[in-house]
Each structure stands twice: as C-alpha cells, then as structure tokens.
Homo-oligomer: A and B are copies of this chain.
Amino acid sequence: MAERSQYEELSRHLSGIGAVKREMSRGLPPECPPASAAVLSLLAKYGEMRASRLSELMAIDMSVTSRHVAHVAEHGWIGRHPDPQDGRSRLLRITPQGQQLLNELSEGVTEALAHYLHDWSDDDVAQLNALLERLRTSFGDCRTRAPQDLPRQTADPARPPTREAGQQTTAQN
C-alpha cells in the first residue's frame, strides 16, 4: 500500500506518458497509424486469433478493433480466414507483407529507443517492462473481476455521476 502523494504522482505520469507514445509514433509511415502497428505486433507475438481476443489484448471496444482490423486487412497486412469452430468469427493472421512491414517498424522502434534510452542499462529497461506489465495486469484483473465495484467520484449525490455513463452530451464543447 502506497501513500497518497505517490498515487497522485503516478496519475500525473500516466497522463504524461502519452507524449512518449506520440514521439515514438512520429517515426511510423503515414499509411500505418499506431493502432495498425499495434495490431500487427500482437498478431506476430501471439499468433492468429479472433477479433474478440485482439480486442481484449488491446483493451478497446470490439467496434474499434473492427475498424483497425479492416484497415490493416485492406492494406494486405493481415488475412481473415474462416474459423472452423464458429461461423461468426474469422481468424486473423499476419501476412508475409505484414510481417515484413512489422520488421521494418521494429527496426525503427529499436533505433529510436536505442537513441532516446542510450544511457539506460539492459536491467533498467527490463525493470520498466516488468512494472508496466504488472500495471496492466493489476488493472485488467480488477476490471474483469469486479466491473462495477470500483471507487468512483459518486460519493457526492448532488453531482452527476461519472463520464462512463452514456450521456456525455451533457458537456457542452
């Protein structure tokens, strides 16, 4: 159990880490947005799978996954094959072209990270990887285990609950 100020600091870091992600994404070719690269990376790492599993791995809604999958499929980077176990699903598999693109992207990622993290030891990177892995596990496990049993901003009954309810049209932008 950590102190409150540590949690607040972690929260700020989670907000700020997007900058690192964006910086890495700038090296991607225009026809391959970050989400497409993520799809290819996961299919290469875990092998062929359904869209629903990809959706879980990326922790995004199926509808979003569907669009990402359509994009990489249109470019010929993945193939969609009939699933013998379920006619509603298709098995997504990376193609040789997709693998080749991913190889090139990985090379770029490696060069960029080797540049930015030139003074990080092998152990430093391993430690960060382990902690990020654990972070996602901690969140993922809680979410699947207790979807609505989470501490929220709903303590004050006078205010509208949270931003996960479907009436976001309340906020005037």
Contacts and interface: CB of A to CB of B under 8 A. Distances in A.
Chain A facing B: main interface SS: helix
Nearest to A44: B8
A168 B31 CA distance: 8
A163 interface: yes
Interface stretch (A77-85, A88-96, A145-153): A145-153
B109 A1 contact: no
A164 interface: yes
Interface in A88-123: 104-106, 108-122
A157 interface: no
A129 B4 contact: no
A143 B11 CA distance: 23
B151 A111 contact: yes
Interface of A: 1-4, 6-31, 33-34, 37-38, 41-42, 45, 57-60, 104-106, 108-122, 124-129, 131-136, 138-140, 142-143, 150-153, 156, 159-160, 162-165, 167-168, 170-171
